[in-house]
Amino acid sequence: MVGILIGGAVAFVVALIGTPLLIRWLKAAGVGQPIHASVTQHSAKAGTPTMGGLIIPVGLAVGYPLACLANGTAVNGLALTVALTTFGGCIVGVVDDWLKVNRGRNLGLREGQKSIMQALVIIGFCLAYVESSHPCTHLSVVSCSTIAWNPGPVGWGVFAAALLWATCNGVNFTDGIEGLLSGSATLSFLMLAVVGFYEYRHPHEYHLPQALGLSVVAAALAAASAGFLWWNIRPMTIFMGDSGSLAIGMAIASLALCLRVSLLIPVFGLLYVLEGGSSALQRYTYKLYFKPRGGTRRLFRMAPLHHHFELAGWPESTIVLRFWLLSGVGAVAAFGIFHGATASVR
């Protein structure tokens, strides 16, 4: 427990103090966010420093080792895998953000280029997990034995890759209004930290000795997201950028897979499902239905979903608070399912 608190406290302080320093450096370097021409309601925010999400992996990189020192424990293999996957997502995001800034328009990596870079990170995670000690290749809700079906390493790898890709992109779509993603990610990571600590305290039920290290990683990411939120909320002084959103997406999915609660992602990540799903529906309903009929209609006024509500007249603060509530309800519901399922299999 001490390690979790130290890891979280250090990561929070790093993000809280480091973000304004990062803002200063980004302004000096001229790293400002270009705004897409169609998002006219955000045109006044053009030039705001971006790539602020860099501070979240930095908070993890400082907080987790210090937590290990405080606990007197070695670096956890699975925790290190999650951390490296998070950094990998961050690197993809940095390249994407830098290209946008360098070109002066909201166009970074092409879809295929970004997918290839994400795939390399995802494959790296899957290989590292399968080669770790006692990997669980069952599809699982609360423990490795919850669901009897075991697709094996290859089948699990396909499932994990699809989950990582979908989560990463759903989280990426959520980053569109200041504070929306950093606040909801804080709640998601807190839930995963509690799950990890619970698994650590009940080793005979979960048989996951690495659970404490994973809990520390989740706590550090939650705290770093909260520290960044201090500067990311209105009056907003920095954008998270893909540097943060892709890192957060990779972190959430890899933590859930390592903690063996991957099937709970649609519950505690309901907001990410709605945001990513609304973008996919907007795109494919237009291509397959509206466009062939010569129409210009769209399923939503604008996607992702938060833009739809913006154009419907909701203030940004209302959207953020209501979506945070949605994330909080999802996190509580997911832990309720986790705890209830645990009780039923005892």
What is the reported pLDDT for 284?
75
Tens place of pLDDT per residue across the chain (346 aa): 778 899 999 999 999 999 999 988 888 877 766 555 455 455 555 657 888 899 999 999 999 999 988 877 778 889 999 999 999 999 999 999 888 887 766 677 888 899 999 999 999 999 999 988 778 888 877 777 666 677 888 998 999 999 999 999 999 999 878 889 999 999 999 999 999 999 998 888 888 889 999 999 999 999 999 999 998 887 668 888 899 999 999 999 999 999 999 999 999 999 999 999 888 888 877 677 666 666 677 777 887 888 888 888 889 889 999 999 999 999 999 999 988 776 555 5
Q: What backbone torsions phi and psi does residue 239 show, to the nearest 5 degrees?
A: -90, 150
For the chain, domain boundaries: 2-345
Q: Residues 255, 195: contact at Cβ < 8 Å? A: no
Show the tokens assigned to 177.
């209004």
Q: What is the DSSP string of 187-205?
A: HHHHHHHHHHHHHHH-HHH
Q: Which two tokens stand for residue 120?
A: 């390399």
* Rounded Cα–Cα distance for residues 182 and 322 (Å): 14
Structure-token pair, residue 212: 């404490």
> Backbone dihedral region of 233: left (phi > 0), alpha (psi from -120 to 50 degrees) or beta?
beta
CA–CA separation, 206 vs 135, rounded Å?
13
Nearest to 226 by CA among 198, 271, 193, 196: 193
* pLDDT at residue 62 in the model: 95
Q: How far is CA 35 from CA 45, 50, 96, 308, in A?
A: 7, 11, 14, 17
CB 82 within 8 A of CB 251: yes
Structure tokens at 182: 């950093």
Q: What is the structure's pLDDT at 107?
A: 72
314 by DSSP, 3-state: which?
coil
Per-residue CA distances from 178 to 74, 140, 158, 175, 260 (Å): 37, 34, 34, 8, 31
Residue whose C-alpha is closest to residue 3's, from 176, 177, 197, 142: 197
What is the b/e burial string over 258-296, where b = at least 16 CB atoms within 10 angstroms of the residue's CB?
Answer: bbbbbbbbbbbbbbbbbbbbbbeebeeebeeeeeeeeee
Handedness of CA 245, 249, 254, 259 (dihedral sign): positive
Determine the angle formed by the axes of helices 152-174 and 180-201, rounding to 10 degrees.
140
Distance CA 98, CA 85 (A): 20
- Determine whether 65 is exposed, middle or buried from the number of CB atoms within 10 Å of its CB (0-12, 13-18, 19+): middle
Structure tokens at 17: 């103090």
Q: Is the dihedral of CA 109, 110, 111, 115 positive or negative?
A: negative
